[in-house]
Chains A and B, each alone.
Chain A
Amino acid sequence: MPFSANCPSCGAPVVFKSSASFHGVCEFCRSTLVRHGGDLENLGRMADLLEDASPLRLGSEGRHRGVHFAVVGRIQLRYEAGIWNEWYLLFDDQRGGWLSDAGGEYLISFLTPPGAPLPEFAALMPNDELKLAGRDFIVTNREEALCISGEGELPFAFGAGYPAQLVDLRASDGAEAGFASIDYSETPPLVFIGESLPFAAFKFANLRDEHGGSKPAGVVKALQCPVCGGAIGLHDKAVQSVACPSCLTVLDAANQSLSILQKAVAATRIEPVIPLGSVGHFLGKDWTVIGFQQRVIRAEGVDYPWQEFLLHHAQEGFRWLVEASGHWSWVTPVAKPPRYQVGFPSVIHNVVEFRRYSAGTAVTRYVIGEFTWKVKVGETWEIIDFVAPPQMLSREASHNELSWSLGDYLPQDEVMAAFKLKTPLPEPVGIAMNQPNPRAEGHRRVFSMFWKFLGLAVVAQALWFFVLGGRTLVDQRLVFSPGKDEPVTTQTFRLDKPARNLVLRHDTDLDNNWLGLGLTLIEKTSGRAWTAQSEIAYWHGSDGGESWSEGDRARELVFRDLPAGTYYFVIDPEISAEKPVSVADRIKVVRDQAAWSNFFLLLVFLAGLPMFSRYRVSAFETERWKDADFLSSGGDFGADDSDGDSGGDSGGDD
């Protein structure tokens, strides 16, 4: 039941929609009010809220898992990198929940018993694993924030502000992008568990930009640089810092004070290939380039720079477009971080195995435009890149934060088309770590073709062997004896129709001997004759304990293009004078014989095609991986730290 009373300070009506809310802020005079039964106590004036980026406001409505909620309160917190809001939600079933909209990401969570004692705040570090309410989580962020202001109804007493030690965690189990937060400002600490969902999933209504009273999110706000007077545009109030494109001074944009965070340090100016303010059409939405930074990793004295463009969409939040050596990637934050211990050569994300490619300390070398954190030239992050083309997974870690992002390779022409660029982008150089292997698709086709040809070859061979040929016309045993010089005549056989080929096969019992044969094929009616010579030899023995053999006891001779008729062979044998023994010879005459050797030769040739294609795929991969660090090529990952890769985890995860 809603509770209504008048503000003891200004008399304005104050309504508590939730019976669980006993703290509120008068929206007219900003007095901090506490419910005592039917009375309201005034604790003093609440500090003003800093204007923020959120499209939400008190009175906004939405749905979560089918249950309607209303936004009834919020607290605003300041941390090292800026400010964020925690919106207090009241559901129709009287549950309370919290919705955080930091950096364009929407995280909903509910107060949940942790299920086990919690570690101390100081004991938790990024990448630590923790079980909360039976689920597995990974620490992604630990902050010492200050709650600076609030408004509306809240489920706890709220003074002029209080410090809050907060730990954010992401679920490493389950299908959804689970989220948890531990608030150490109370004893025992409070645990909130929920999930990260896209803006559209909440089906919000009554947002700020639906009413004229508030400035819509995502609309440019024009300011002037306090150093050079240059124009500065702010596209989103989530922007925490802005580097003046004119003088390169980094300014604090959190509350539009534009105080100087860092004086210009870049010696040379870099002109982004996609200018700030450009609008690109990706995934059906228009994204505006609002920030640009160049970062570099130095390895063995060589700098490996890349450029990052921060893109903004009012509802979708922020994405990165990353360019390295002319290769482009679309980079999205990963809401559900994978489990990974520094030093391992691969990581699983969404059932895909990503192989570690490289690691190093990335230094920000140049910044212009807007950023959602307090950016500065010279800031460092420990980065480990993993690849599963066309995707790459990047792990960035600092002493108190761990984040993962997923990059999808973007062909250069898609980037040009998205921004409708008139001037061509720099040509890609070399092979990007997540560049799709252009030969892989061809290899798949060749492989598929191989199986089709193989099937065809089997069918054809079966036809040749069983249907079209291989009819035996003569199968006769002959004995050639020494001393008998008379030629031997075989049985006659008839060719009803012309024969493409006629095979005469000898199968002898030669043993360390040879047999010379003078062969004459005679057509009985016409007397036409075809002659040939054949010698069969077979030798075997053993030499130094190793057996050997040479030659063959059998031999085939092929006569081609014979007309129809009645035939017989006349065989004139010549037996070795050195070993004059009888030789038995089983002769077979076969017409239109199909050879198995042709079939196997065909198979070998066909198999060569996918093998060659596979070699080309491998050659591309070899080229891709030649710049990877030693660990990625299967080295000893126990010695990982020798390349300076600590993964940025200040202990705890090795």
Chain B
Amino acid sequence: MSRIAMVLGLAAFTLFNYGQYRGWSLFSDDAQAQPARSANAARTFHK
């Protein structure tokens, strides 16, 4: 049990750090899950 707990603990800790690195959050929405890049955005907003 302790070995399994060690593996699971390490995996969870690794995932936590990756999530923090990526900016995962339960209370945030991923902007890139929305329509990605506007097809003519550059043309519209380029100055």
* Chain A contacts to B: CB under 8 angstroms: 439, 442-443, 445-446, 449-450, 453, 456-457, 460-461, 464, 468-469, 500-501, 503-504, 519-522, 524, 526-534, 555-560, 570, 592-595, 597-599, 601-602, 605-606, 609-610, 613, 616
**Residue contact B1 to A527, C-beta cutoff 8 Å:** no
**Residue contact B41 to A520, C-beta cutoff 8 Å:** yes
Complex Cα–Cα for A456 and B12 (A): 12
**Residue contact B16 to A530, C-beta cutoff 8 Å:** no
**Residue contact B26 to A520, C-beta cutoff 8 Å:** no
Given known pairs A460-B17, A527-B45, A602-B13, the reply for A595 and B27 (CB within 8 Å) is yes
Query: Chain A residues near B19 (CB, 8 Å)?
Result: 595, 598
What's the nearest-Cβ distance from chain B to residue A452, in Å? 9
Complex Cα–Cα for A442 and B45 (A): 62
**Residue contact A592 to B23, C-beta cutoff 8 Å:** yes
Nearest to A598 among chain B residues (CB) is: B19
Given known pairs A442-B1, A531-B41, A598-B16, the reply for A609 and B8 (CB within 8 Å) is yes
Query: Chain A residues near B42 (CB, 8 Å)?
Result: 526-529
Complex Cα–Cα for A234 and B29 (A): 87
Complex Cα–Cα for A449 and B16 (A): 17
Query: Chain B residues near A559 (CB, 8 Å)?
Result: 31-32
Q: Apart from A520-B41, A559-B31, A613-B1, list 12 A-B contacts with CB within 8 A.
A: A442-B2, A453-B13, A457-B13, A504-B31, A524-B47, A556-B28, A570-B45, A599-B16, A601-B26, A609-B5, A609-B8, A610-B5
Complex Cα–Cα for A504 and B31 (A): 9
Given known pairs A460-B17, A556-B27, A595-B28, the reply for A449 and B9 (CB within 8 Å) is yes
Complex Cα–Cα for A570 and B41 (A): 11
DSSP class of A's interface residues: helix, strand, loop or mixed?
A: mixed
Query: Chain B residues near A439 (CB, 8 Å)?
Result: 1
Given known pairs A570-B45, A598-B24, A601-B26, the reply for A446 and B2 (CB within 8 Å) is yes
**Residue contact A613 to B5, C-beta cutoff 8 Å:** yes
Complex Cα–Cα for A534 and B30 (A): 10
Query: Chain A residues near B27 (CB, 8 Å)?
Result: 556, 595, 597
Query: Chain A residues near B5 (CB, 8 Å)?
Result: 445-446, 449-450, 609-610, 613
- Report B14-45 CB contacts with A as 1/0, cut-off 8 Å: 00110111111111111110111110011011
Nearest to A616 among chain B residues (CB) is: B1
Complex Cα–Cα for A475 and B8 (A): 39
Given known pairs A531-B41, A613-B1, the reply for A460 and B13 (CB within 8 Å) is yes
Complex Cα–Cα for A449 and B4 (A): 11
**Residue contact B13 to A530, C-beta cutoff 8 Å:** no
Complex Cα–Cα for A556 and B24 (A): 11
Which of A500, A594, A598 has the most CB atoms of chain B within a 10 A radius of its CB?
A598
Query: Chain A residues near B38 (CB, 8 Å)?
Result: 520, 529, 531
* Chain B contacts to A: CB under 8 angstroms: 1-2, 5-6, 8-9, 12-13, 16-17, 19-32, 34-38, 41-42, 44-47
Which of B2, B31, B44 has the most CB atoms of chain A within a 10 A radius of its CB?
B31
What's the nearest-Cβ distance from chain B to residue A96, in Å? 60
**Residue contact A500 to B41, C-beta cutoff 8 Å:** no
What's the nearest-Cβ distance from chain B to residue A326, in Å? 24
What's the nearest-Cβ distance from chain A to residue B23, in Å? 3
Nearest to A533 among chain B residues (CB) is: B34
Nearest to B31 among chain A residues (CB) is: A532
**Residue contact A609 to B25, C-beta cutoff 8 Å:** no
Nearest to B12 among chain A residues (CB) is: A605
Q: Would you mind naming 19 contact pairs between A and B with Cβ atoms under 8 Å apart?
A: A442-B2, A449-B5, A457-B16, A500-B21, A520-B38, A522-B41, A526-B42, A527-B45, A528-B42, A529-B38, A530-B32, A594-B20, A595-B25, A595-B26, A595-B27, A597-B27, A606-B9, A609-B9, A613-B5
Query: Chain B residues near A601 (CB, 8 Å)?
Result: 16, 26
**Residue contact A557 to B31, C-beta cutoff 8 Å:** yes
Given known pairs A449-B6, A598-B20, the reply for A558 and B25 (CB within 8 Å) is yes
**Residue contact B31 to A519, C-beta cutoff 8 Å:** yes
Given known pairs A443-B1, A532-B31, the reply for A593 and B23 (CB within 8 Å) is yes
Complex Cα–Cα for A557 and B30 (A): 6
Top 4 closest A-B pairs, CB basis? A501-B23, A529-B41, A527-B46, A595-B25
Nearest to A570 among chain B residues (CB) is: B45
Complex Cα–Cα for A528 and B44 (A): 10
Complex Cα–Cα for A457 and B32 (A): 28
Complex Cα–Cα for A559 and B30 (A): 7
Query: Chain B residues near A457 (CB, 8 Å)?
Result: 13, 16
Query: Chain B residues near A555 (CB, 8 Å)?
Result: 29
What's the nearest-Cβ distance from chain A to residue B44, in Å? 8
Nearest to A595 among chain B residues (CB) is: B25
**Residue contact B35 to A533, C-beta cutoff 8 Å:** yes
